[in-house]
Amino acid sequence: MGQHHDDDGGEEEEDEEDEEEDDADADEDEEEEEPSLKYERMGGPVNDLLKKDSASALAVSNKCLALGTHGGIVHVFNLTGERIKSFKPHQASVSDIEMDSTADFVATASIDGQVVVHSLSTTESYVFDMKRPIRSVALEPHFAKRTSRAFVCGGMAGTLVLREKGWLGHKETILHSAEGPIWHVRWREHFIAWANDFGVKIYDTQSQSRITFIDRPPDSPRADLFKCTLYWQDDTTLLIAWANHIKVARIRSRPSSGPKVPPWIVEVTAAFQLDCMISGVLPHPMSPQQLAPENGTTPSAIALTSFLILAYEPPDTYGDEMTDDRARQARKTAERPELRIISRSGEELTADALSVTNYQTWGCNDYLLAEVNPVSADGERCYIVVSPKDIVLVRPRDRKDHIAWLVEHKRYEEALGEVENLGEDEHASEMPDSRIDPVQIGARYINHLIGEGDFVKAARLCPKVCGQNAQRWEEWIFVFAQKCQLQTIIPFIPTAAPQLGHLVYEMILGHFLSHDKLALLRMIMEWPSSIYDISAVIVAIQSELDRTPSSSSSSEPMRSDAVLLMECLADLYTANRQYGKALPFFLRLRRPNVFDLIREHNLFTDVQDQALLLVEFDQELNEKRKQEGNESALSQSEAIMLLVDHTHSIPVGRVVQQLRPQSVYLFHYLDALFKKDQQLASDFADLQVTLFAEHATSRLIEYLRASSYYNLEGAYNICRSRDLVPEMVFLLGRMGNNKKALTLIIERIGDVQQAIEFAKEQSDDDLWEDLLKYAETRPTFIRGLLENVGAEIDPIRLIRRIKNGLEIPGLKEALIKILHDFQLQISLLEGCQAILNCDSAALASVRQKGQNAGFFFGATAPCLLCAEPLQRSPQDLLLLFLCRHVVHANCIDGVDDLPRYMESSVDGSTRTRPAHEVSAKIAFASVVRAKVREGCPVCHRRGEGPLT
């Protein structure tokens, strides 16, 4: 389907606008296809030049554009429209123009019969007068590097002339003649192709022979009305466009050639007829979809291109010559030229109508089409379309243009996908392209979706469009709020990177407060508290809670509005570190972590007046855990443990006062308090006796034994009222009424063993006497006493009290047991005595050996009393104790006047008997021992006692 294209600066008439509107209306029902090319009118001074003159010929080389005009002037521009040079080589219209590959030499042909070759960089210039109008000229390849400066030209004279520069000037060679005017000629490597009235011929300059002739179709229109276009696609492929026919000729080497046969043959690989006239033809790369292999084969390099043609549809000028209507006799206006892409099979792929100035008056030969050779094989391609008054640059549409087209046609989702697939090199640009800005595309897409009512999809797109731009986020959030669709965008609103203004989050919380309190609680739990004003939110929720009936005393479910609001307040107060204010809500909500909250934040003073509520709540939790089979159910109430552990903050008296209505809770509290510290529960000992008697009778005796703060008489009265005999016995014993206690044991309990134990505890001989008197007439008691006699009672004393003739069951066994026990005691005592004697002897022997054994000490060893060396002088008397301490004799108090002991001389002059020496030593030791009464002074100082 054709795409209509308007260029900037064109002059339009009203009838044209009407036609455009009609075309647009007709196309609305069909899906518009994306064009393949984009168009841009060349700016700069060229527009002013063409207002005064009109273009007639075009040549492009090395990104320079040479434009010949009907005024005989040649203008050289770059692709931006900047004029490089202008000169006037002719006095009439320039019919053809060509530039060499370096864009240095420009060859022009004119209907004034002259051919001019002009250098743009030097003064070199050649002018040739051919006497007849020249239609086409072509320079030899690499003209600037050749010294021959050859070119070929032809025109209305019907001769194709080759001119070369030689030693004696230019040499002229006629290559062909006598077949009508030469309409077009082009030179590529060593092949020259030209067209005349009969067809197209190709000449080989190497073999200097004509290698082929391609005739014109028999029904072709006049050659001068619809020009022939020759274009060398490569060195061996020639594109021929003449009137409404296209042919592709390919040159290849002849397999075997004779001496007079050209070495080349030419095949026409494609030929088809179009429904329009052709003003120009160029090869055009095929799209990726068109490059799919056919029949499993890959297309050749030549077949990888399609044709880009400049199509001209001539007006219907036939059939109205004989009419008398002058309007119908008037010249018909031409249609807009079209730039079409044609496949190799002749199928039209795309067609774009070009709006050029005064297109109604131009004919097929007035339009020109040229290609700007890309710098590289994969470089950007560019085409140039020229009319007498316009120059249009044509480029294949790139991915950015594709994205812009998608946006223009509101296919935003596809456009965003294409933007994401763009490479870094396509994104990188000195001038940012707003057409591929994902933010702008996304914003337009969101606006489109909101207009269509698809708020969910629009909200899902916001993170991609807004990114980390907080201002953009806020703008879109307020748009959704104005559309009453705030709940749609809320799941996508960020709380960090970026963090929005607190008013936005407060607005969202206010929305949930009015419409969805469960979502409000979820947001408060998920969002960080720093992103909004907690105090303002607390005030709003508290106000709403005051207006909401509480569900605590009704049959409403737990997830009622009041409960949700209380949970919100509890979390908000906790986040704001107002734990004391959060505590009442935790208790009302029965939060399991309330005790952790109290301990973690030291809220004991806040719960000192809520002891009963705490204990009841904890009891409910334990009951619930037990019903669920949870092993974590505690045997000891956590609330009571908390109250007991923090009596410094929660006074005991205040707790007792609160728990009095629930005696079981009070019992557990005082019990736990007593276990921790008896002194803490001393003021409530009498109350505790009553509570034990009521709720834990089996433990009352234990408490009575452990405590000493209760009133004995009061406790006894309580036990008597409840007939608690063991407790009464204990209390009577503690009160000193042992006889009455023993009587209760004997008469009410009848337990011999307990009676004996009670007598042992009291250590009272009178009590033992009472027990013996009571047992005289009771054989079971006598036997029990016999079996349990010990150090407290003499068995003889008991046996003598047995009356003659009293039958005592088991008396023999009891007596045998008594004898056996005594025998065992004697044996144990003897064994212990033997072991003691043996151990004493062994220890004494060890001590004796240790004291009598010798030991070594040096001459520099210090005295343990004065810390000076022991051998200060030979006259010093040293004392050695059995504890191995050695000291100076004069360092001991009261030993100054000790006589010095003189040993016998060891020389042979005098000798004494050994017995005399021993007696002397013993005598001297007795004197020293008498002086040193406290033993070793060192050990004495250390508290080891006297050791001498």
**Structure tokens belonging to residue 675:** 């276990």
Rounded to the nearest angstrom, the gap between the alpha carbon of residue 562 and the centroid of all alpha carbons in its chain is 37
Mean per-residue pLDDT, 308-312: 94
What Å distances lie between residue 783 and 498, 772, 809, 814, CA to CA?
95, 12, 8, 7
Q: By three-state DSSP, how is residue 750 classified?
A: coil
In percent, how much of the chain has pLDDT > 90? 29
Name the nearest CA neighbour of 564 among 527, 535, 589, 539. Answer: 589
Which tens digits make up the pLDDT trace of 548-568?
876 444 334 445 888 889 989
User: Does the pLDDT of residue 862 top 80, yes or no?
Assistant: yes
Mean per-residue pLDDT, 294-313: 66
| Distance separating alpha carbons of residues 777 and 765, to the nearest angstrom | 20
What pLDDT score does 17 carry?
Answer: 47
Give the max Cα distance, the chain.
Answer: 191
Classify residue 508 as exposed, middle or buried by CB count within 10 Å of its CB (0-12, 13-18, 19+). Answer: buried
| Distance separating alpha carbons of residues 143 and 149, to the nearest angstrom | 6
Cβ-contact 228, 195 below 8 angstroms: yes
Name the nearest CA neighbour of 126 among 116, 134, 135. Answer: 116
| Distance separating alpha carbons of residues 507 and 484, to the nearest angstrom | 12
* Least reliable range by pLDDT among 15-24, 411-420, 466-475: 15-24
What pLDDT score does 440 carry?
Answer: 85
* Least reliable range by pLDDT among 70-74, 231-235, 259-263, 501-505: 259-263
User: Does the pLDDT of residue 390 top 80, yes or no?
Assistant: yes
Helix extents (H) in 9-128: 14-27, 46-52
- Higher pLDDT residue, 810 or 249? 249
User: Does the pLDDT of residue 246 top 90, yes or no?
Assistant: yes
Reply yes or no: is the peptide bond before residue 498 cis, omega within 30 of 0: yes
Residue 384: strand pairing partners: 370, 393
| Distance separating alpha carbons of residues 477 and 485, to the nearest angstrom | 9
Mean per-residue pLDDT, 810-817: 72
What pLDDT score does 865 carry?
Answer: 84
Mean pLDDT of the chain: 81
In the 8-state DSSP scheme, what is residue 862?
A: B
Mean per-residue pLDDT, 644-659: 89
Which tens digits make up the pLDDT trace of 470-520?
899 999 999 998 988 888 998 899 988 889 989 999 999 999 899 888 889
* Least reliable range by pLDDT among 1-5, 392-396, 630-634: 1-5
Residue 258: band (very low, low, confident or very high) from pLDDT cuts 50, 70, 90: low
Cβ-contact 895, 931 below 8 angstroms: yes
Which string of b and e fits 171-210 if b means at least 16 CB within 10 Å?
Answer: eeeebbeeeebbbbbbbbeebbbbbbbebbbbbbbeeeee
- Higher pLDDT residue, 945 or 283? 283
Q: Which amino acid is at 626?
A: K
* Least reliable range by pLDDT among 223-232, 330-339, 507-516, 729-738: 729-738
- Higher pLDDT residue, 579 or 136? 136
| Distance separating alpha carbons of residues 446 and 333, to the nearest angstrom | 47
Q: Phi and psi (nearest 5°) for 236? A: -125, 5
What pLDDT score does 23 carry?
Answer: 52
Q: Which amino acid is at 384?
A: I
What pLDDT score does 1 carry?
Answer: 40
Classify residue 57 as exposed, middle or buried by CB count within 10 Å of its CB (0-12, 13-18, 19+). Answer: buried
What Å distances lie between residue 391 and 49, 66, 112, 695, CA to CA?
11, 12, 25, 111
In the 8-state DSSP scheme, what is residue 331?
A: P
DSSP string, 850-899: HHHS-----TTPBPTTT-SBS-S-TT--EEE-TTS-EEEGGGSTT-TTPP
